[in-house]
Amino acid sequence: MLIRTNLDMDVLRTFVTGFELGSFARAAEQLGRSQSAVSTQLRRLEDQVGQPLVQKSGRGLALTSAGEMLLGYAKRILELNDEAVGSVRGADVEGWVRLGLVQDFAEAWLPEVLSRFSSAHPKVRFEMQVDRSLCLLEKTRKGELDIAVFWGGSGEAPHEERVAELTTAWIGRRDWPGVRGFGAEPLPLVAFAPPCGFRAAGLAALDDAGLPWRLVFTSPSLTGLWAAATAGLGITIRTTFGVPTTLCALEPSVSGLPKLPPMPLVLSRAERVPSAAVARLRAILLETLRSGAAPPGAAIAAE
């Protein structure tokens, strides 16, 4: 007779949460457990599957091949579990939710988020604001938004969770001539007006590399940046998510441009203990964002 192993749902959630938050210490805090309890859960999970799931990577931990495989299954198991529970409870969830989102994700991910949320919670009223990161941070801090997703990771936002770190790149036309093509002339740049984390990172990288630059176009909208870059006015700095087909990421080794640091993507809540509607929206946002943003097998801090 075949004896099947039933994986513990709580242990799977700890495992997934640890790698999604980038730290088992953060996972312990979020799940309301001690770090020793989380370590015990991780060992129990390894015993259940009969394989090591994590390994040392510098000062932190990284997934083994077995861990990467299990992480994918664990996310699906938890998503199905949460969807089942949310659907059963969804009919009773009422209220008002105010969500803020940066422009990068509004077109690509907002329809999926809204569709999933409204289907599960038809009685909840919804307000959406698409804005720049600093505006979303301030509105969340003032309580004008219940929950927001934006670029940052400064720790200034209330009840902040780091979702992922996305690769930042120089974006331009495929026929951009590279640094050498400008000789001693300043490189033309397209950017948001300050304050902007992408702009600041790009200008700092150029200054450190001793490359002259000049701003030729500023815009309050991402659509404006893409249009200016597509027109050949200059290059811009952004993540590679949602880049139009008319543009591409310019490889530093070929273009002569300096490398750029990654950009943290964070989720912030106005209240430490959110309403049922906000808590459910948070879960759907994290599932959607992490499925498209988090790099598989990324090393996380062992703190």
Pairwise CA distance, residues 93 & 168, whole Å: 38
Average pLDDT, the chain: 83
CATH code for the domain of 19: 1.10.10.10
Could you tell me the pLDDT band of residue 67, with boundaries at 50, 70 and 90? confident
Answer with the residue of higher pLDDT: 207 or 62. 207
> What is the domain extent for residue 200?
168-255
- Assess if residue 4 is contained within a domain: no
**Judgement on whether residues 120 and 51 belong to the same structural domain of the protein:** no
Q: How many domains does the chain have?
A: 3
Could you tell me the pLDDT band of residue 221, with boundaries at 50, 70 and 90? confident
**Judgement on whether residues 272 and 229 belong to the same structural domain of the protein:** no
**Judgement on whether residues 108 and 126 belong to the same structural domain of the protein:** yes
**Judgement on whether residues 244 and 268 belong to the same structural domain of the protein:** no
Claim: this prediction has a pTM higher than 0.75 = no
Answer with the residue of higher pLDDT: 34 or 139. 139
As a whole number, mean pLDDT of residues 231-246 equals: 90
pLDDT at 302 over 50: no
Q: According to the per-residue pLDDT averaged within each range, which of 80-89, 98-107, 138-147 is highest?
A: 138-147
**Judgement on whether residues 123 and 270 belong to the same structural domain of the protein:** yes
Model pLDDT, residue 301:
38
As a whole number, mean pLDDT of residues 111-128 equals: 81
Q: Which of 86, 110, 128 is the last residue of a domain?
A: 86
CATH code for the domain of 116: 3.40.190.10
- Assess if residue 82 is contained within a domain: yes
pLDDT at 204 over 90: yes
Answer with the residue of higher pLDDT: 55 or 231. 231
**Judgement on whether residues 160 and 107 belong to the same structural domain of the protein:** yes
Are 99 and 129 within 8 A, CB to CB? yes
